[in-house]
Amino acid sequence: MSQEIKLAKSSLFLSAFLWGFGFVAVEGALISGWHPMALLAARGFIGGFLLLLFSYKRKFWKNKTMLWEGIKAGVFLTLGFVGQTYGQALSGPANASFITAMYVIFVPLIGAVWYKYKISIWVILTSFTAFIGVALITVQGSLSVNVGDIWLLAGAIFFAVHIIKLSQLSRFNDSLSLTTIQLFTMSAISSTFMVITNTNFTSSGLYYVLYIGLISSGVAFFLQTFGQKSLESSVASIILTFEAIFGVIGSALVFSLLIPTQTWIGGILLLGSVFFLEAIPLLNKKRV
């Protein structure tokens, strides 16, 4: 394994780690009294401003096509985070970590509908396994479904659409500028909803918000962009799903949460289906 590949994989693992503990920071901010839309407005602005320090020399705002496409991608990103943040507020960081990972499952399914791709039997089987995993996580003893988990599923779907949208933007070859545009778009949309709903910022838990903005939305995006330059997307996806594991471990450690056995089993099934789905192309490639 070359030094470049090792560095790329290390970058993605670190990115997954930072995102995983981002669930912990979001939980801390919500507990401190941050409204989900205020949190999204802050994380978008802080992360966008950090990346702007490195991307402003590129004068990306002069490329009207890229600017518009970046804004559209930012809308899907915002919808994904809205589902994730509201869902976590109602369901907790452990469920949010596991269910958010379903975006990897939704990508091929949405691609099949959107671009008329054929779905293999393996995709059907892994999707069914993922469904069972999510059912174990979301369905409580009374056979009732947590509303927060519905928000999380919606967020995972929009994240999947966002990933598909980003694949169309690779032609611009400027991930840094596109990420900057998307984060500022998220901040602008969230700020607009804050004005409409008369929602205010709070000074409590600012260290959580700074972590989310600077680390989860800034540094982690840098690491992901750097890592994916040298790795196939299938390999990168497998590594990035570790954010779910890091999120649950971080939640258990920081908030002393007792994760039910049913949730662990569901999480293992969900992550196992993700790994299997992403490993199929690699196995087929080795056989050729």
Give the residue extent of every domain in the chain. Answer: 3-287
Q: For the chain, give percent helix, strand, coil, nearest 5.
A: 85, 0, 15
Over the stretch 133-180, which tens digit does the pLDDT of each residue have? 766 766 655 555 678 889 999 999 998 888 778 777 777 878 788 889
Instruction: Report the alpha-carbon distance of residue 84 to residue 147 in Å, rounded.
Output: 12
- What pLDDT score was predicted for residue 208? 93
- What pLDDT score was predicted for residue 282? 55
| pTM assigned to the model | 0.80
Cα angle for residues 106, 173, 278 (degrees, 5° grid): 30
- What pLDDT score was predicted for residue 147? 87
Taking the C-alpha atoms of 263, 265, 267 and 273 in order, what is their torsion angle to the nearest 10 degrees? -150
Residue numbers in the chain where pLDDT is lower than 50: 287-288
